[in-house]
Structure 1
């Protein structure tokens, strides 16, 4: 059975990360199916699931939240990994504190619904800031945030390699 890589996205950045994960898993011999959460009708025919979403207001997109709610029973019976794209910025205590809070909120919700999520990673996202008002952009920058493509492809690739090792160890 293939590995499902599913995602919610608002501007395409999370799709690009999901496609990268799918490509790397396929390259090491796994059958993969990469699709948006609203195009997955059941997780029954998959051996494992990787789900991702951007974070807005310290929550996953509604489509991703609904997917986890609807598929919670099926997800509990499979190896599941999750990733989020979110807050990025200059290193410092403010950023570290905000990232810790954001990560723990996402993980708390996930673990309530799918207690055996093997791992959740928060990666930097991609945002040019064009959808944010000028005053909010300024405030965000004052708090240590920055705009642009902050995705760390090396970290994403390393995480994917860890998943592949676990899948091989499980005999999938």
Structure 2
């Protein structure tokens, strides 16, 4: 089994360095172009059997570009929605305490959001189910930056420092072999 992981295309919040976990906005024009380029890249691979995507608009739009270009189905997976950043939602990425809160694994983000342990539980359980249910398939996951970071830890060990510095580009593509 092979799993590819990608992050949705750019949004206006990404461009402005604004925290956007549960804020459900669509791609901007750059993000749409990135999604089209991703679709071409996936078409060239020619090996994807199914797309599993977050329910959020930015991920769904990215997944639709690939699905339409490659003639694939999309399965929506609620557990791949972005991390709930609580009170940090809609603020600058450089807001005091945000970076530190991200690596305090058992502390809810912005006091009212999800802890990293909660996020990891839902993402790992989704990955476990995908591996069990699609073991003979090649799967493309279309998710979010925070979710991609957790997916990376599912397959590769990371120190706290590596975790806090790990970044996935919009429409970047990683491959994991099971």
Shorter-chain TM-score bucket reads 0.3 to 0.5
The structure with higher relative contact order (CA 8 Å, sep 6+) is 2
Whichever structure has more strand as a proportion of its residues is 1
